[in-house]
Amino acid sequence: MTDTPRQTSTEILMVGPLLPDLIATLESRYRVHRLWEAQDPAAFLREHGARIRGIATSGRFGATRELIDALPALEGIFSFGVGYDSIDIEAARARGVVVTNTPGVLDACVADTALALMLAATRRIAQADRFVRAGRWTKEGFELGTRLTGKRCGIAGLGNIGRQIARRAEAFDMEISYFNRSPRADAPAHYRYCPDLRTLAAQCDVLVLAVPGGADTRHLVDAAVLDALGPKGWLINIARGTVVDETALVRALVEGRIAGAGLDVFEHEPQTPPELNAMDNVVLLPHIASGTHETRRAMADLMLANLDDWFSEGRVHTRVV
Ligand code: 8YV
């Protein structure tokens, strides 16, 4: 993070705690209000809301219409993360408020995590680790896993992250098919396009979700898609919990209608369905796909560049609206 002159008269509202380094940098440059520490957020907004010109937030904390409406001087919402489904984009657009996110810088790490989940689930890596730690190796053999190399990989959402997942899966000799709103002209010719998700699920061994969250993709993966994936199929989700009907997923796993799953995201984070916590064919991560020192730093730098350049020059780098 580079130093810029202190601009402490500009007031920023931070919705929830971002990285400590990022908070420190923002506090050295702006007058930052910590909404999550306010005992009565509504009273806090009534008192300070009229002076706040920027919101600093993330995919986790978002920005509701109610919050946007409570800030009459708001110019911009600066989010730490690529997904903006938790930000009310229509409310921002209606008010002419700029919204920025952090695309590009996290694609590689998120794709790495997708591959880690694919391997961990099919090869039972987390389960094998638990087996050794429990001292069971000295007494019994460990169950065989499923080979990943050479299997068919179906990717829902061939955006920048989906593309990086496909490249990595190809290194495991996997055949690539994808579902997208429309075929991607820039996709390699040997990637097969599937116009509907159920067909893709029926034609792959591992279905990886890399679509954006939000109303358009809510419960895209339902019981019918899971049944198309079938008892030998694996579901990997590094997108958003809302993309999957979690009740249908739990039922499919309990009934053995799919082989297993690798999940970084959930419908009601940080809650995970208790049934899944007890299953060995499921790998559960606490939403860490972009969680490396390098990538989180790059996300913080990009978010700061958007925020600083907006308040000093009236321009941003990665604008959503
Ligand atoms: C972050 C993410 O963990 O970029 C996203 O959309 O979900 C993750 O990279 C998140 O933004 C932090 O809340």
Over the stretch 300-319, which tens digit does the pLDDT of each residue have?
A: 999 999 999 999 999 999 99
0.85 cut: is pTM over it?
Answer: yes
Over residues 267-288, the mean pLDDT reads 97
Of the listed 29, 53, 168, 240, which one is catalytic? 240
The CB of 82 under 6 Å from ligand 1? The reply is yes
**Residue-level pLDDT at 193:** 98
* Domains of the chain by residue range: 11-101+293-313, 106-284
Over the stretch 134-168, which tens digit does the pLDDT of each residue have?
A: 999 999 999 999 999 999 999 999 999 999 999 99
Over residues 277-288, the mean pLDDT reads 97
The CB of 210 under 6 Å from ligand 1? The reply is no
Quick check: do 11-101+293-313 and 106-284 share a fold? yes
pLDDT-derived band at 6 (thresholds 50, 70, 90) equals low
Q: Is 269 a catalytic residue?
A: yes
Domain 106-284 fold = Rossmann fold (3.40.50)
3.90.1300.10, 3.40.50.300, 3.30.70.2660, 3.40.50.720: CATH of 11-101+293-313:
3.40.50.720
The CB of 60 under 6 Å from ligand 1? The reply is yes
Determine what percent of the chain is predicted with pLDDT higher than 70.
Answer: 98
Answer whether residue 8 shows pLDDT above 90.
Answer: no
Mean pLDDT of the chain: 97
Distance CA 170, CA 249 (A): 27
The CB of 166 under 6 Å from ligand 1? The reply is no
Over the stretch 47-105, which tens digit does the pLDDT of each residue have?
A: 999 999 999 999 999 999 999 999 999 999 999 999 999 999 999 999 999 999 999 99
Q: Could you give the count of Cα atoms lying within 13 Å of 35 in the half-sphere of its Cβ? A: 24
Q: What is the largest CA-CA distance in the chain?
A: 67
Over residues 25-32, the mean pLDDT reads 97
Task: Give the long-range contacts of residues 30-38, CB within 8 A, separation 24 or more.
Answer: 30/54, 30/311, 32/56, 36/61
223, two tokens: 């019981």
pLDDT-derived band at 1 (thresholds 50, 70, 90) equals very low
CB of 283 closer than 8 Å to CB of 121? yes
Over the stretch 111-131, which tens digit does the pLDDT of each residue have?
A: 999 999 999 999 999 999 999
Q: Is 294 a catalytic residue?
A: no
The continuous run of DSSP H or E covering 96 comes out as: none
Closest residue by Cα to atom 11, ligand 1, is 81
Answer whether residue 3 shows pLDDT above 50.
Answer: no
Ligand 1 pocket, mutate which of 14, 55, 58 (most atoms under 8 A from CB): 58
Of the listed 269, 275, 315, 319, which one is catalytic? 269
